[in-house]
Amino acid sequence: MQNQIDAAVEHYRKLLNEQLERVERMEKGAKAKDFTAMDKIVIGVCGGDGIGPIIVKQARRVLNALLKDEIASGKVEIREIEGLTIENRLAQNVPIPKETLDAIKECDVLLKGPTTTPKGGTMESANVALRRELDLYANVRPVCVPEENIDWIFYRENTEGEYVLGSKGIEIEGKLSMDFKVTTDVGTKRIARAAFEYAKNNGKTNVAIVTKANIMKKTDGRFSAVCHEVANDYPDITADEWYIDIMTANLVNPEIRSKFQVFVLPNLYGDIITDEAAQIQGGVGTAGSANIGDRYAMFEAIHGSAPRMIEEGIGDYANPSSIFKAAEMMLRHIAMPSKADLLSKALAICNEQEKAVVVTGNRDGATCKEFADYVMKTLDKIY
């Protein structure tokens, strides 16, 4: 056992050094891209696993239609990214095949279908690896239920917390396992800044800082303290401190939930609560997700690859609304707000107002393609 302890201590020293190096890299910072000043924008599109290729194919059709002129003039290129499949990743035993990552780095933004994450073992999730490799520190997830006055936006820290060393824990065989959670000043500052800037620029008056700082004293304690420090720069915005457990209850409390506006929270709590929030909006199939960094940004559905739907042969009935929302967020990010507004309007008509074609995720509903046809027709009408 002493050998295992020694190995674990050595492993821990290595992790600590790696994380301090990451801090240094973050401290150097990068300048955010200005899409309004770019001659050409390359959008990478990649299907992923399970229902991914099915929904992404339809998103690509919608983008081709919306960006017809920009593609024709060469202002936008939509580029297929190959190789991000679970078969390929397992065969090469890497979370992202090198050629795929290189190809992604040649793009400005990425629209990505869900990827399957093997449970247990040491194979890291492709999503987590992409967020790290591209330094996509802000996971931004809006949730709206207009009839209930719910207009939330979640700023989930996306590169550290419970995730950054999630595949690098320690084990003493037959005795114990230990994982690590990491919170850094610079990593927290940049996500807090993103949340408060959003609030300031969008007329919001409150940011909820959500942690479990009463228990995770070091990491969440730091997260909370740094967020409050950043809040000092925004005197017109109130910053409230919440614990994650009561916040999950608040979101299902119709008496109070509509008062929340902007949330900022560590990685894992953000992961969990955004699924809850998406469910309140109508299901995880309905929410889009943006992963934003200074150099790159990746847009995806909030849900997973739904391998069960593929096994049951109902993949074609998958709901593409989530990836469509992601495409809308992407258009906004690349400084094409009028295109984003068009898509948002079409989705509101199709999903909330007319509802002439309804996807249920099962054979009793429309197929993914039928729904996409409906969205395209609606876009034609409002264009």
From the list 44, 304, 315, 320, which residue makes contact with ligand IPM (rule: CB under 6 A)? 304
**Residue 341 CB, nearest approach to Mg ion (Å):** 27
Tell me the CA end-to-end span of the chain in Å, nearest whole number: 69
Nearest residue (CB) to ligand IPM, 19 versus 167: 167
For 103-128, the DSSP string reads: HHHTSSEEEE------SSSSPPPHHH
Nearest residue (CB) to Mg ion, 135 versus 271: 271
How many other β-carbons are positioned within 10 Å of the β-carbon of residue 102? Answer: 10
Interaction of residue 271 with Mg ion, rule CB under 5 A? yes
Alpha carbons 20 and 97: distance in angstroms, whole number:
26
How many other β-carbons are positioned within 10 Å of the β-carbon of residue 284? Answer: 19
Interaction of residue 157 with Mg ion, rule CB under 5 A? no
Nearest residue (CB) to ligand IPM, 268 versus 335: 268
Interaction of residue 127 with ligand IPM, rule CB under 6 A? yes
Which of ligand IPM, Mg ion, none does 125 bind, CB closer than 5 to 8 A by kind?
A: ligand IPM
**Residue 156 CB, nearest approach to Mg ion (Å):** 9
**Residue 101 CB, nearest approach to ligand IPM (Å):** 17
Give the angle subtended at the CA of 377 by the CAs of 376 and 379, to the nearest 5°: 65
The interface mask with Mg ion, positions 12-41, x = CB under 5 A, is ------------------------------
Interaction of residue 125 with ligand IPM, rule CB under 6 A? yes
**Residue 287 CB, nearest approach to ligand IPM (Å):** 10
From the list 88, 117, 206, 279, which residue makes contact with ligand IPM (rule: CB under 6 A)? 117
Q: Are 188 and 220 in contact (CB under 8 A)?
A: no
For residue 206, what are the β-bridge partners?
238
> Which is nearest to 86 in space by CA: 96, 72, 74?
96
Interaction of residue 162 with Mg ion, rule CB under 5 A? no
Which of Mg ion, ligand IPM, none does 304 bind, CB closer than 5 to 8 A by kind?
A: ligand IPM
In eight-state DSSP terms, residue 151 is E
3-state secondary structure of 244: helix
Pairing relation of β-strands 206-211 and 176-178? unpaired
**Residue 289 CB, nearest approach to Mg ion (Å):** 8
In eight-state DSSP terms, residue 68 is H
Sign of CA dihedral 377, 378, 379, 383: positive
H/E stretch holding 152: strand 150-157
Size of the site for Mg ion (CB under 5 A): 1
Which of Mg ion, ligand IPM, none does 220 bind, CB closer than 5 to 8 A by kind?
A: none
Token duo for residue 380 = 């034609």
Nearest residue (CB) to ligand IPM, 66 versus 323: 323
Interaction of residue 97 with ligand IPM, rule CB under 6 A? no
**Residue 248 CB, nearest approach to ligand IPM (Å):** 15
**Residue 308 CB, nearest approach to ligand IPM (Å):** 15
Token duo for residue 158 = 């996306």
Window 251 to 270, contacts with ligand IPM (CB under 6 A): none
> Which is nearest to 342 in space by CA: 84, 101, 129, 62?
62
> Which is nearest to 103 in space by CA: 124, 87, 79, 133?
79
The interface mask with ligand IPM, positions 204-233, x = CB under 6 A, is ------------------------------
Contact positions vs ligand IPM (CB under 6 A): 117, 125, 127-128, 271, 304
Contact positions vs Mg ion (CB under 5 A): 271
